[in-house]
Structure 1
Amino acid sequence: MSTFSQLGVAKWLDESLAAMAIYKPSDIQQDCIPPILAGKDCIGGAKTGSGKTIAFAAPMLTQWSKDPYGICGLIITPTRELAIQIAEQFKAIGANMNVKVSVIVGGNDMIKQSLELEKRPHFVVATPGRLADHIKSSGEDTICGLRRVKFLVLDEADRLLSSSIAPDLATCMEVLPPANKRQTLLFTATITDAVRSLKDRSDNIYTREVPESAMAVPEQLEQYFLLSPSYVKQAYLYCVLDSEEARDKTAIIFVNRTQTAEHIRRTLKLLDIKVTSLHSQMPQQERLNALGRFRAGAATVLVATDVASRGLDIPEVELVINFDLPADPDDYVHRVGRTARAGRKGISVTLVSERDVERVENIEARVGTKMSEYTAVSDRAVIDKALKKVSVAKRQAVLEMDRDKFGERKKILSRKRDTVKKA
């Protein structure tokens, strides 16, 4: 195996990585760093936790240090937490060289961000929605530094190229140098057709396909399903968390909607579960605090939308529960991949209601294995131990959400967008 210096990274960067006890490049770093340093565009496929941030950060920082002027690189990523995490890694690796990194995400002050961009930080890490807002409203003085970036990175590129994010991403691309004047680096855990189609647009591109093993469920993972009627799913969920097999385990509960995440968090809290949540309607500081509580063990259960399914540096998780099934089987793979990592054992339990049969079949076809029935929770136990008290907690949680006007801000923003479109 090569060393970082043999791959061509700057000496100061090699020393900085060594100071962080990072001595040997991972597979994706070894494969992608040399072609990026050689000036090629790159599509890098690798599973979560394989070191892909350093795979693009090391060559970018190496090239930046040769000419540290203006905004060298723009990194676009789909979630605020990922943006903050990437920025922290850039700052840590480049600490000895006083690397300036600006984070442009929703939930923070637009004016402060605008002033930061005007000062031409060396690297900008952004979510597409907030960066698009600046491009539309903050003026040329704010965004002109982006017109000369040398690197564009799309992290979790498959999600960035999805139909829901594509319009904001297109706005971001409008202010960047043309493709032949910059290097474009796409990193993803899932190389979709949209990502693969970009390969045909350039002759100067290096592609590293995602290894088959990267898109398989972990070998140490035990996959279960639990049949639960949709109108009492929360009672079954509570019984799973309160079962002897799961009571002391750290767990992530995945849901499809922010409203569901907030309702479950409040319900479980009323049932004395040490729970926190992570979803897009939480203020930014609350989201960071929630992750901090979960990492520190102050909360043993995290209720999350798919913002937590990829990329985030979350500690050892012993149990993943799919309260809602994802529409895309690949999202199931990413979710259950939060457990059974680094050779440890893990369990996933998927709650299957009457409307979920087709999705389960698609997931089983995708992963190549059948789920086993979860027998630690019985219908009788749910009726005897959980149904009444969970129903009471659910009603109270709904009243609390109404009192706190949960979701009101989202409705107001949606109305404003509709007004702008009509104008």
Structure 2
Amino acid sequence: MSKFEDLGVAKWLAESLNAMKIYTPTTIQATCIPKILKGHDCIGGAKTGSGKTIAFGAPMLTEWSQDPMGIFGVVLTPTRELALQIAEQFHALGSSMNIRVSVIVGGEDIITQALELQKKPHFIIATPGRLADHIINSGEDTICGLRRVKYLVLDEADRLLSNSFSKDLEKCFDILPKSDKRRTLLFTATVTDAVRALKDRPVPKGKLPVYINEVDTIDKVAIPSTLNVNYIFIPSYVKEAYLHNILTLSQYKDANVIIFVNRTHTAEVLRRTLRKLELRVASLHSEMPQLERTSSLHRFKANAARILIATDVASRGLDIPTVELVINYDIPADPDDYIHRVGRTARAGRKGDALSVVTEKDVERILSIEERINKKMDLLELVDDDKIIKESLKVTSSAKREALMDMDREGFGEKKLNNKRKHASREELKNKSKISKLNKNSKNS
């Protein structure tokens, strides 16, 4: 028997894992899989790159293969890219069993998705917003299979349980079986108080207590020991020149790099600027059509682009083993977001570098991050200020100027601005309607 079979995983699935060269369970897999198979709900906390998808996927697939009928499980996750990655893993693991997996995310044709749901795929991997859309608008024939699912998984649970997803989650929970009729699994790299509090809820009669595993959480090991954390301290008006210099350093000129920014506008400016400087670059942010987002990610994974510029849509869960360097071009406000970002490298025991571009405005944020990760960042000594002035400053300034002119000419950001205006107009109409009703009621009384 393989080590995964010892945990209770089906033989066919253990063989699939072996074919993928996954032989030994990680800590989170070894502790959670047997508990889930015994019937426990589970809260699993483990640092990035520790194999959480297999920790919840293996027991689900094992039980599904015993009776592969209807929609067996729903996995909810915060980003489209993460949904696609989880679906790829489910397809790979279940290929020998003719598994049917549907990805239900925004940016794709909703009618095509509705037809897929009507065919009752074995597993649905979805973002809460798009699944809620189907629940509200697609009719009973489309969503009836959701009423009988055996498993619900919240991946990146800390993010899903934040206020930004609460309304959509409520819609999803309304149609799914009640908690005593399904198995609920929560997995995250950040076990927040909101996640931890779920284990204290009353256990329905006949159910086993919630199993919580925090052996390997980032609260105890914030970042891997194989990750080098560095910083450079520079004036904010020369960030592009320093970035160009870093990307062309001898040790990074061929490296696969993810550059994180805080705003979509910054991502687009950098993409265009670096492309004009003849670097192979792609971007990933919320203002891109879904087809372009998927294409960018595939290009980066295939090394057609060696640099990916991304907002936090790429900060969670994405597993791209070739990433050697993560650059925080903009420093995140939340230290946990820093941990998720740098977790894109130094995964599964590999080495990696993380570099923060610190300006005069970022000092407090850096201090908070250092306190959170319990480690001081080291100054990157490789940057040559004279070389930057001589080789990078003029060319990057010119490339950025051209990029901004192109964006202005093409109207980048206008769609987002129009959507904000429409939303504001709808809110204004709602408020006027409320005021009108209140006035009528007051007159009548």
Q: Which amino acid aligns with 2:137?
A: S
Counterpart pick for 1:205 among 210, 225, 228: 210
Whether 2:61 is the aligned partner of 1:56: answer no
Identify the residue that residue 250 of structure 2 maps to in structure 1. Answer: 244
Worse overlay, 219-228 or 147-156: 219-228
Quote how far apart the aligned CAs of 1:53 are: 1.2
Cα displacement string for residues 26-81 of structure 1 (whole angstroms, at most 9, x for unaligned residues): 22121111111121110011122222112111211222223322211110011111
Q: Which amino acid aligns with 1:231?
A: Y
Q: Which amino acid aligns with 2:254?
A: D
Identify the residue that residue 3 of structure 2 maps to in structure 1. Answer: 3
Worse overlay, 179-188 or 167-176: 167-176
Asked if structure 1 preserves the Cα contact closer than 8 Å seen for 2:64 and 2:72, the reply is yes
Identify the residue that residue 253 of structure 1 maps to in structure 2. Answer: 259
Whether 2:118 is the aligned partner of 1:118: answer yes
Quote how far apart the aligned CAs of 1:342 are: 4.5
Counterpart pick for 1:320 among 317, 322, 326: 326
Whole-angstrom CA distance in 2 between matches of 1:105 and 1:126 = 6
Quote how far apart the aligned CAs of 1:344 are: 4.2
Whole-angstrom CA distance in 1 between matches of 2:19 and 2:347 = 25
Counterpart pick for 2:225 among 213, 219, 223: 219
Q: Taking structure 1 as reference, are residues 74 and 416 closer, same or farther at Cα in structure 2, changes over 3 Å only?
A: farther
Identify the residue that residue 44 of structure 1 maps to in structure 2. Answer: 44
Asked if structure 1 preserves the Cα contact closer than 8 Å seen for 2:190 and 2:217, the reply is no
Worse overlay, 6-15 or 146-155: 6-15
Whole-angstrom CA distance in 1 between matches of 2:118 and 2:425 = 30
Q: Which amino acid aligns with 2:223?
A: V
Cα displacement string for residues 358-390 of structure 1 (whole angstroms, at most 9, x for unaligned residues): 101101111222222223224443333222222
Identify the residue that residue 90 of structure 2 maps to in structure 1. Answer: 90
Identify the residue that residue 433 of structure 2 maps to in structure 1. Answer: none
Whole-angstrom CA distance in 1 between matches of 2:324 and 2:68 = 44
Identity, % of aligned pairs? 62
Q: Taking structure 1 as reference, are residues 220 and 3 closer, same or farther at Cα in structure 2, changes over 3 Å only?
A: closer
Whole-angstrom CA distance in 2 between matches of 1:222 and 1:212 = 19
Quote how far apart the aligned CAs of 1:124 are: 0.6
Asked if structure 2 preserves the Cα contact closer than 8 Å seen for 1:191 and 1:210, the reply is no
Q: Taking structure 1 as reference, are residues 2 and 224 closer, same or farther at Cα in structure 2, changes over 3 Å only?
A: same
Whole-angstrom CA distance in 2 between matches of 1:194 and 1:60 = 25
Asked if structure 2 preserves the Cα contact closer than 8 Å seen for 1:77 and 1:128, the reply is yes
Asked if structure 2 preserves the Cα contact closer than 8 Å seen for 1:8 and 1:37, the reply is yes
Aligned length: 423
How large is the RMSD of aligned CA atoms in angstroms?
2.1
Unaligned 5+ segments in structure 1 are: none
Whole-angstrom CA distance in 2 between matches of 1:413 and 1:171 = 23
Report the secondary structure of 1:381's partner residue.
helix
Q: Taking structure 1 as reference, are residues 271 and 174 closer, same or farther at Cα in structure 2, changes over 3 Å only?
A: same
Whole-angstrom CA distance in 2 between matches of 1:221 and 1:11 = 36
Cα displacement string for residues 337-373 of structure 1 (whole angstroms, at most 9, x for unaligned residues): 3233444443222111111111011011112222222
Whole-angstrom CA distance in 2 between matches of 1:414 and 1:177 = 36
Identify the residue that residue 332 of structure 1 maps to in structure 2. Answer: 338
Identify the residue that residue 237 of structure 2 maps to in structure 1. Answer: 231
Identify the residue that residue 376 of structure 2 maps to in structure 1. Answer: 370
Whole-angstrom CA distance in 2 between matches of 1:128 and 1:110 = 14
Quote how far apart the aligned CAs of 1:298 are: 2.0
Whole-angstrom CA distance in 1 between matches of 2:248 and 2:416 = 33
Q: Which amino acid aligns with 1:289?
A: S
Asked if structure 2 preserves the Cα contact closer than 8 Å seen for 1:215 and 1:333, the reply is no
Relative to the length of structure 1, the TM-score reads 0.93
Whole-angstrom CA distance in 1 between matches of 2:294 and 2:168 = 24
Identify the residue that residue 395 of structure 1 maps to in structure 2. Answer: 401
Cα displacement string for residues 181-219 of structure 1 (whole angstroms, at most 9, x for unaligned residues): 111100111101111111111442000015257732222
Structure showing greater radius of gyration is 2
Identify the residue that residue 102 of structure 1 maps to in structure 2. Answer: 102
Whether 2:263 is the aligned partner of 1:262: answer no
Whole-angstrom CA distance in 1 between matches of 2:20 and 2:245 = 43
Identify the residue that residue 356 of structure 1 maps to in structure 2. Answer: 362
Asked if structure 1 preserves the Cα contact closer than 8 Å seen for 2:8 and 2:34, the reply is yes
Worse overlay, 284-293 or 239-248: 239-248
Asked if structure 2 preserves the Cα contact closer than 8 Å seen for 1:309 and 1:335, the reply is yes
Q: Which amino acid aligns with 1:246?
A: Y
Worse overlay, 242-251 or 302-311: 242-251
Whole-angstrom CA distance in 2 between matches of 1:417 and 1:134 = 21
Asked if structure 2 preserves the Cα contact closer than 8 Å seen for 1:100 and 1:123, the reply is yes
Whole-angstrom CA distance in 2 between matches of 1:142 and 1:98 = 22
Asked if structure 2 preserves the Cα contact closer than 8 Å seen for 1:251 and 1:317, the reply is yes
Q: Which amino acid aligns with 1:352?
A: V
Report the secondary structure of 2:163's partner residue.
coil
Unaligned 5+ segments in structure 2 are: 204-208, 431-445
Q: Taking structure 1 as reference, are residues 269 and 84 closer, same or farther at Cα in structure 2, changes over 3 Å only?
A: same
Quote how far apart the aligned CAs of 1:116 are: 0.8
Quote how far apart the aligned CAs of 1:151 are: 0.7
Identify the residue that residue 443 of structure 2 maps to in structure 1. Answer: none
